[in-house]
Every structure is written in structure tokens, then in C-alpha cells.
Structure 1
Amino acid sequence: METKNKTTIIRGHAGPETMNGSWFDTDRLILNPDTLQAAKRQFLSPSTALALQGCAASWIAGRTIQEPWRYDAPNITGNIIHNIFEQLYNLPPENRTNTTFLNITSYTLEKLQATRKLTNQQFSDLAKLVEQNYDGLCALTDPTQTNVAGTEVLVQGDIAGIPFRGYADRIDLNNKNMQQVVDYKTGKAPTAYKIRKYGDAHGDQIIAYSMVIAQNDGTTPQPATLLYTADRQARTVTPNRKHKQTVRDLFTKSWNKLATATERNEFLLEPTPLCGWCPLVSVCPAGSGVPKKDGLPKPDDPRLPGTKPATLPVNGPPHGKGMETKNSKPEAAGTKTADIPATPNRVPQHSHKLYGGSQAWNLMAGQYLNGASYAVQGTMGTITLSVQLLQDAKMRTTKNRIETLSRALENMVATAQARISIVDSPADGIATRLRGSMRTFVEQTPPPIGDGHNAEEMRAWGEKCVAYMCWQAELAARIIMEPQPRLNLDCLF
């Protein structure tokens, strides 16, 4: 049994740190040679297999473009806590005391303070966070009574013929002297509803380790434990037949997806709810209108991919450089452009050019749609939402389904807007507010699509969504126009 020394606190990063020379081609990302080489894998870890269920382009971007080091970033704090737990559980059981924990924490954070120049406040914040997770750990299990076989244990083998390699946070020996995987999670525990709706990513991850360990030992996969230390919740995951098949399917699908992407050098763009956290969001064709997390690379960041028209060499132009054309013909004098009225539903019929540019509140830019308008931003966001709703309903995201659902959602916004507003343009501010209200309703009550539902159910759901949007708009108007400084707050308790 091999263990990994993680005394550096933060896992290292190998490979290129830039995607300059890579480029977007409509619905896919083409990688430069160095990044393509870094994308290839001899093994799959559970985290990589899970990540590849989403957007392959986002996965490789996250592995390549590193965010600046922040002492309070979840991946940083998670690794610090894991490292301290690892040091604690490497000691004999009788030495895993509170005093020992405090000594390990002080040593670890003082070393980090020296290398990362932490302020006293940052040091204090980290110490409180570590202590909170340790208190949660002790509320769930007694470190002095735990029979630990190893920490940060290298687990290697195969799942459904797919090469597997990963490091288990901890492996204990149960009362039958069988190896049982334990995994620490410093975030919130998922609710049963979220597991049913989105799947059991944490369970899949830990069951994968149990399956490989059992295969290597010639035994039966044992139940595994997830410890949500900050949340003070523990969950035991049993490797039943259905769960094991889910894991096999996960690894097979992810391995084939990665093999196809690296062989063709085509990493497809697949919008997901995590687009706002992707390093590529500011330049990705699928990221238009997506709210972005603070601190992500800006469009002019030299590490980001560019674009490549058909006339460019494979690596495309240097990032941030515009495309200059010297053979464009000037418009002939006297050419009429006013013959095509700038109406909201008129788009040039015999041109591949769809968009122009203007202020965000204008729907049109001359005879073209205004690509910067709130209408285009909102509608692109609705299309992204439609893709996710179809995926949540376990439906194939065909173009016809995406368009149909997107039109239905936008029709609902237009219906609500017509009921509560004197302005009817999809670029008006109230339309944007209503789209946000629609997303709130969708999060609470997903649309009845897919197997077991029908069109009448969908229409009834749409009416409820419209009513909800109108109610929120009316409530906002009342709050603004009818202020109530003194409120009866009893309903909140």
C-alpha cells in the first residue's frame, strides 16, 4: 500500500499554463500541441471521470489555466485541512489528541504564513476554519479509536477495463479487518433531493475506490464513508449492483469521450450550470450572457484561446489581435439601406451575418440584431438553461429539443411582460428581470419534460411560471411604491 507525501500542502500543477495558440471553432475548442499533450491520460481518476461528464473544454482549461493563489479559495482551504488531517491520522491512535491537533495546525499554518506572507487576520481566519472542520470531524468519529490502514493511499487498477489511478484520503480497517474508504469533504453535504436530481458524484467517487481495492484484494467492495466535516454530517455509501454499474458506465463514457477528443483534437463546448466558474467563460462562444464568478481571466488575458477563421494557419492569430481584411469592398455610393426596416422580428435573409453592435438597450443595430443587447444576452442564457433542463430530465440534447424548450421559455417571459409592462421589446430591462424570476421558478419547480410527462402538463406548468413571474414583478412594484418601515416579522420565525 503506497501513500503520497503531501507536505507541500497544495497539490502541484504540471504542464502548460497557457492556452494561447488554441482556438475556438464554433462549438469546439482546438488545442495547441502542448495543451493537447497534457490532456492525454494513461489513467482516469474519479475526479477526472466526473469532470469529463461536463464540458471537456472547461475541464482541460481548469487543468491548464491556474487561478491566482488565494488563502480563502475552497480548493486551497480544502487541501490545507486535508493535509492537517493526514498528519494527525499518521500518528498512533493514542497520540491523536486535541493538543496534537493544535500543534500540527500551528506548525502547518506558520509554515504557510512564511511562504505565502499571510497577514495575521488571514492566519486567524484559516485557524478558525481548520478548527471548525476538526470539531466536525470529532463530532462524527473519534480519532483515537480509529484503526487507520493508511492516508493518501495510492489506489491503482481498472474499472470496466479502464485504467484507474487515484489517492484515497484515508483507508480504515473495519471490525472484519476489511479495508474501508473514508473521504473528507469540507463543503456542504448534498440533500437527498439534489442527489436524486443531479446524481451522486461524491458517492460515485468513493465507490470507485472501494471497487478497485476489492478487485485488487479479491474481496467484496465494502461500504465507504463520506465525512462532511464543516457540515457535521456523515454518509455511508453502499456499493450495491446499481451503484457499481453507474460507476462502470461513468468511467467507460469519460474514457471514450477523452480518447475521442484527444484523437481528433476537438473538445466540444457543452454549456452547464458551472459555465460561470470556467476560466474560458469570457471568450467561449457558449458563455455569452453567463454571470461570471469574480477573478476569472478577462477577454484580453494572453493565456486564453483565440479564434480562427478558415484562412488562418492551425494555431490562429496571436490572442487579442484583431483580424484585418484589406480586400473589403466599400459600399457603393447611393446604396439604399433604409429599404429594410429595423423591426424587432426582421433579420437579413440572404446573409450569414446576423449581428451588429449598439447600446445594450437597443434590440437592433441598423438592419442587424444587436449582439450586445439585453435581448440577445438573455436569450442565449435561456438556451443554456434549456440545455441544462434537458440534461436534468435525462433527455438527449438535440437541436430541435433545445430550440423548442428555449422558445417556450422565452414565450413565457413575453407573456408575463405583456401582462405587467407597457413596453414589449425583449431588450427592455423588465424582460431581463423576468428572465431572472423565471430561473427562480425553474429552480424550485423543474419543468415536466421527458418520460412520464406530456404537453398538457408542460402548458399548465408554463401558466404557473408566468403567474409566478407576474407576482414577483407586482411584489417589487409594491415594495418600491408602498414602503412599510415597520414590519410584522413573525412569519419569518
Structure 2
Amino acid sequence: MTQSATELPAAAETAERRKPALSPSRASDFKQCPLLYRFRAVDKIPETPSKAQVRGTLVHAVLERLFALPAEERVPARAKELVDPLWAELSAENPEWAALFSGDADDAATAESDWLASAGELLDTYFGLEDPSALEPQACEERVEVELGSGVRLRGYVDRIDVAETGEVRIVDYKTGAAPREIGEIKAMFQMKFYALVLWRLRGAVPDQLKLMYLTDGQSLTYTPDEAELRRFERTLEAIWQAILRAGKSGDFRPSKSKLCRWCDHQARCPEFGGTPPEYPGWPEPDGGDETVLDRAD
């Protein structure tokens, strides 16, 4: 039987999926601290997730599943019914997440129960921001990927893409923390511009709105990008990727100390804190480092 051009052999399809690409989280890591990028994307050193990160992943999973339901079922009670079974699925797939509640059996059960209740509170806040029964997103948790004219490949996951009947496109991102101060807002908008650029290059039109929904304090931030801005941002990402490749060839991933260091898992191996990085494993092929589910729930 003759194979069509679109029916790639499994090996070729796998190779295509694995082509190196830059994700918004890893680009932001390198911009923040090249050594942090190295630890995450090159050394791939495991990090211990916080309960807040895992809760964010759970809430994202609930909202994705909620939008898969008929519109009339997208109500607060139904959303809360999804919390326990989805947590059972996630903790089975990631046993180390369930271990966050280890300890005395009674205390652990209480801590886990309180934590699940706090996820329900975030969902209550979400319903105060919008009515999902009135929306029909074009996509939820959409994997997007594009190769720029320069050869740089961008890849990521968009929480939600809305398209109005009149054609306007909105990119929505859920944040399970509070609306950020200046540094956090800059990082969040960096991520949103990344997605706006990818969708622009994929679809040929600049998205009409970027929307961040903060589910701790019930605030929403909206932003309207323009083509000139996205062109500048594209050049920024291309420069970041070239800097990553240079650092990868030399092994010179320098630390950059900032206020964000206080939340870093890698202080013990960072020269800025008296530590020593592990021996550089080399750069066999450029790999921008994929988004993880914890990155996407940040």
C-alpha cells in the first residue's frame, strides 16, 4: 500500500515531535537566570513542587474538563464534583504529589482535605469572574507550535482560546495565585505575548485580546497586543535562543541573582549561594525544554 505524504512512519513522527523548541517557561527561565535554565532544561534536575503549584494543576484540569461538558452542566457544584476524581487521577500519575501530604495519617488526611477545599474556593472565585455556560471556547489546553522565519521553533500550551462570532480572538490564561506585583506581572505578560506571537504566526492575525484571570483575589487583567510589538517580541525570543545556543556550546550558564532566588530549589548548587553546579553534561543537541504541567499551572 502506498503511504501518503501525511502518513509519516512512527519514527519520523516522533522525530518531528521532538524537534527542539523554545517554550515560554524555559525562555523566561533563561531571561531570569541562565543557570536556572541549565538546571531545568539541560541537567533536568528534579524539583519538589509546592502544594500551591499542584493545586494550580488540579484547578486547570477541572476547568479543562468543565468546558468539555454541555453548557448547562458548567455550574459551580458540577465543577466541585470534578475535584476529587481528578485529584485521584493526577496523584496516581504523579505519586510524589500525593507524598506532599505524608505524615501522621490523621493529620495528612486533614491537610489533604483542607487543600482540596481550597481548590474549590478557587473555582468559586472563577465563577465570580465569568459564566462558563455562556462560552464555547475554540480550544482548551491547546498545544501550539510554530517555526519562525529565522528557524527558531516555539512551542507551548494555551489554557483557552476564545473566538467570538464576529471573529475576534482572545487568549485566556488562568492563574491560581493573586494578581502579581511588578516582577510577576512582567513574567505573566511575557508568557502571554509568547502565545500571541505563536497564534499570529500560525493564523496570520494578531489576537485581539490577552486575558489573565487571577483566581485567588478575583482580578482580571486584559491587554491588547499589536503587530509592531509582537515583531519586537519575536526578535527578543530569537536573541534568547541564540544566547541559549552559545551558552550550550560553551557550558557558560551564569547565575543571575535576584529577589526570585528565594524561591529557587537550586541554591545549594548555585555559586551565588556558595554552591557548586554539577559537572556540565554537554550539549548533544539544542533542546529548549518543554513546558511541564506545573509550568502551565503557574
Secondary structure of 2:62's aligned partner: helix
Q: Does 1:49 align with 2:46?
A: no
1:5-47 deviations in whole A, cap 9, x for unaligned? xxxxxxxxxxxxxxxxxxxxxxxxxxxxxxxxxxx97111111
Alignment match, 2:277 = 305
Alignment match, 2:139 = 150
TM-score computed with the length of structure 1 as normaliser: 0.46
Spell out the pairing of 1:218-257 with structure 2 (5 A cutoff).
Answer: 218-241=204-227, 243-257=229-243
Distance 1:254 1:122 in 2: 42
TM-score computed with the length of structure 2 as normaliser: 0.74
RMSD of aligned alpha carbons: 2.7
Matched AA of 1:156? E
Q: Does 1:66 align with 2:46?
A: yes
Q: Does 1:277 align with 2:277?
A: no
Q: Does 1:132 align with 2:116?
A: no
Distance 1:98 1:160 in 2: 45
Equivalent of 1:166, from 144, 156, 170? Answer: 156
Alignment match, 1:287 = 273
Deviation, structure 1 residue 259: 0.6
Deviation, structure 1 residue 228: 0.6
Distance 1:227 1:207 in 2: 15
Alignment match, 1:91 = 69
Secondary structure of 1:234's aligned partner: strand
Distance 2:91 2:156 in 1: 29
Distance 1:146 1:245 in 2: 31
Aligned 8 A contact 2:175 2:213 in 1: yes
Secondary structure of 1:236's aligned partner: strand
Alignment length, in residue pairs?
250
Secondary structure of 1:200's aligned partner: helix
Secondary structure of 1:107's aligned partner: helix
Secondary structure of 1:274's aligned partner: helix
Alignment match, 2:189 = 203
1:66-107 deviations in whole A, cap 9, x for unaligned? 23455x2x3212111111111111222222122321221121
Secondary structure of 1:210's aligned partner: helix
Aligned 8 A contact 1:271 1:287 in 2: no
Q: Aligned in 2, Cα 1:279/1:103: closer, same or farther, shift over 3 Å?
A: closer
Aligned 8 A contact 2:141 2:157 in 1: yes
Alignment match, 1:215 = 201
Distance 2:231 2:76 in 1: 41
Alignment match, 1:444 = none
Deviation, structure 1 residue 306: 5.0
Larger radius of gyration: 1
Deviation, structure 1 residue 124: 1.7
Secondary structure of 1:224's aligned partner: strand
Aligned 8 A contact 1:61 1:278 in 2: no
Gaps spanning 5+ residues in structure 1: where?
1-39, 289-298, 308-313, 316-493
Moved over 6 A (4+): none
- Point out which structure has higher relative CO (alpha carbons under 8 A, 6+ apart): 2
Gaps spanning 5+ residues in structure 2: where?
1-17, 102-107, 282-298
Distance 1:179 1:124 in 2: 38
Q: Aligned in 2, Cα 1:250/1:165: closer, same or farther, shift over 3 Å?
A: same
Matched AA of 1:305? P
Equivalent of 2:177, from 187, 190, 193? Answer: 187
Distance 2:255 2:91 in 1: 39
Q: Give the percent of matched residue pairs that are identical in Structure 1 and Structure 2.
A: 26
Deviation, structure 1 residue 165: 0.7
Secondary structure of 2:138's aligned partner: strand
1:341-370 deviations in whole A, cap 9, x for unaligned? xxxxxxxxxxxxxxxxxxxxxxxxxxxxxx
Matched AA of 2:226? N
Matched AA of 2:26? T
Matched AA of 1:90? A
Deviation, structure 1 residue 268: 1.7
Q: Which structure features the higher share of helix residues?
A: 2
Spell out the pairing of 1:79-478 with structure 2 (5 A cutoff).
Answer: 79-111=57-89, 116=98, 118=101, 119-159=108-148, 161=150, 162-191=152-181, 194=182, 200-241=186-227, 243-288=229-274, 305-306=277-278
Aligned 8 A contact 1:57 1:269 in 2: yes
Deviation, structure 1 residue 200: 2.3
Matched AA of 1:49? A
Deviation, structure 1 residue 178: 3.7
Aligned 8 A contact 1:56 1:269 in 2: yes
Aligned 8 A contact 1:160 1:248 in 2: no
